[in-house]
Structure 1
Amino acid sequence: MMQIKRRVLGLVRGALLKVMPAQTIDLSRLDKVPESMGWPLKRDGFDPTPRIAETRTTEPVHHLTSLMGMGIWLVTGIDEGRAVLQDTSYSTDIRPYVGARGAADGDIGGLGFTDPPDHTRLRKLITPEFTMRRLARIQPMIDAIIERQLDEIAAAGANGEVVDLVPTFGFPVPFLVICELLGLPDRDRQTFMDLGSARFDVTQGGTGSLGAISESREFLKEATRKQRLDPGPGLIGQIIRDHGDEISDYDLAGLADGVFNGGMETSASMLAMGTAVLLGDRKSWDRIRTDEASVDPIVEELLRYLSVVQVAFPRFAKQDALVGDKQVRKGDVVLVSLPGVNRDPAFGDAPDSFDPDRVPDRSHLAFGHGLHRCVGAELARMELRAAFPKLAQRFPDMELVTSGVDDYGFRESSIVYGVESVPVRITR
């Protein structure tokens, strides 16, 4: 699930700076996201807040709020959401809205926030590395990392101790895969790890998250500069060898940043929360352990059901447009709620339930859709399809150790939804 959604706060910051002189406002200092914009990020355990379903029923295209005369719209209907995400008349490039300083300090960039022709140029550089043929070469590496973490879980829980699957499984598997994929040396990995989830958390507004973005970009730009002199074995080094000066350090750091944060944080959330869902449904846990044919439909239903990326890249209307039955004006912003569209009744009976036997007549949008669909979708699927069965096969009797959903420590308000803890015992 490569290249993730920046935060809603970044959207607000960019929009305001479009209509006001840049020096008059700095929303990176904002210590709280307004409730009128923040409520779509709220969740009720694994589920979207009930307000999402209520809004979808009455207004699948809902006027969320207005800001300095600019309309901000929330889309929760599947057909309306798909139409917006595939419409190339919208822009996702927010660099013009933040001015020279934003572009220079590394806060903005990467595939998700560029339009053609820049988007086309950059995506051509990275797409070949994520074809099924190229990815097949790293399957043994993914399997080895999973087995290493399963050994760690076995050692930690050998005598009936409680094991937390977030630090032992959910986080390290995608983190180590992405580090290997990018070609980051061991000495840099701890620093990179520390810059991870803070950038998606908008609980305290923009100060922490925007700072984490900038630090992460600076780190990657430095890593890129080093590999210009001595290209490593991973993705960064391969792009340098293949394209050299065709790509700047800034653009390459943006691509690497999208790969890391898109592929790490989202997959970590899926592994942790997905395991919790499976352990709460022993039939599915046993099926993914024993029935190879069940793996793909279970993974796809988990992706739809959990929808860990909560908001698609913001779309800026470059012209007046009709979205559903609502008139969106030029300059307005359209946000597509991915949990909202993926729980649409169009997915069949009880869309708020986890049902691996569901046979929907349309595909989910957990990876987005259209021009900005996640370039690393197949890498994410590879990790999930390998990790869940191996975990269940190694520990068939694994059980959750919780007294309720509060024990998971769900993130209060984050673009990428997740949990702080999944406590288990591996033996009864």
Structure 2
Amino acid sequence: RPERLLEVKFQYLHDVTNSFNKILAMCLHRNILHRATSLQQVLDSLQKMPAYDENDLWREQEKHTLGMDELEREIIKPRLGVEWGFVALVVVVLLLTALFLFTNIFSIIFRRSDKPFTFSGFTSSDTLKTDTAQSNHRVGGEVSPSQTEYGMLKSAQRQSLQGQPLDRLNIGTSTAGKTAKPAVKQAPMPDYMVHIPAGSFGFGRLKENLNHNVSQNGFYISKYELTQKEWVKYMKPAAVSLAGDNLPVENISWESIITYCNGRSKAEGLDPAYRIEFKGKERIISCNFNANGWRLPTEAEWEMAAKAGALFEYSGSDNHNDISWNRDNSPARIQPVGKKNANTFGLFDMTGNVSEWCWDWYDANYIRAQQRFINPSGPDTGSQRVIRGGNVMNGEGRNLNILYRDKGNPNRGIPYVGFRLVRSR
């Protein structure tokens, strides 16, 4: 079966010559980079095959079976005393590790905490704790952020007809003594979301290498970079270079985007794509690509959408001024989204205006040395996240090129770097 070749390595056939097995392996290799690229290449290899030689047949080496005398010599009597001692040591180490990881015994012993001994247990994505000490409140007439299961979100309170405050997101506030609210109805897919069909493409390649090396599932991506109006609906205003409802939001951290995506998903009745856990003060974020909630594109998804099946130097054209706001036509000044020409998929500003955060950790050698060819989602670890697309600080050439890869600290906002939304379904 073709799909089995993606998972199982080709195995040589018994009683077939090694030279012919090599040709079969070239045809059926699970890595498309190592397969034959044309029928002519296969025919040339067949013509160069040496004459049949019985000594060249491939046969699995026979396994040697131990006789009774050899088997008795191989048997070693168990040393129960040493083994049971080792098992006991392992059990003690595991118990001590569990105490330090899942209880507050460390604080009691070393920090002399007066809190009682507690067991925190394992954290579930559905039971992440809400810090009730930081519930919604106003200070000096300003709306302060709320600590929710997804992080810091704008409280966005407003008055009901009875004068009682309402929480726009219905998360992060206490419900004690109140009637439970009905579940939020799932919002339909907005018209500005474009479906990118499943397919393959040359990840990190243009005209110099036409071979496809990555297969990607279909997904939905926004026609436009996220605007400031959309951002402040759920988050505090960003320190943008130029304010305007229809201007792209920028100078926001990668981690704040994760908070926005989960908060908006929750508000619209979608399954959040991101799981956020805390290890001490460190946030550990993982992505469920099967969820229907809002998220960032992977780097491969971003490049597939930007290329739109073409091989232009920029997204939609070889002329950067046709499709982008950049240093040459709008130096250091962001512009309203969707005013330049779109690419073939109907996506605007994939090149220029503001650069765009992606999900992946950044590794300079990642594309060249990648090991995953189906739905790649970047390295497992790293310290910086990928940024693509270029912005109004970049001119014609390298930094605006569709293949140019940039990076940034995920904990900090960067001027002229924004994002656009993606959904798997």
Q: Which has the higher strand share?
A: 2
Q: Which has the higher helix share?
A: 1
Q: TM-score band, normalised by the shorter chain? A: under 0.3
Q: Quick one: higher RCO (CA 8 Å, sep 6+), 1 or 2? A: 1
What is the TM-score when the length of structure 2 is the normalising length? 0.23
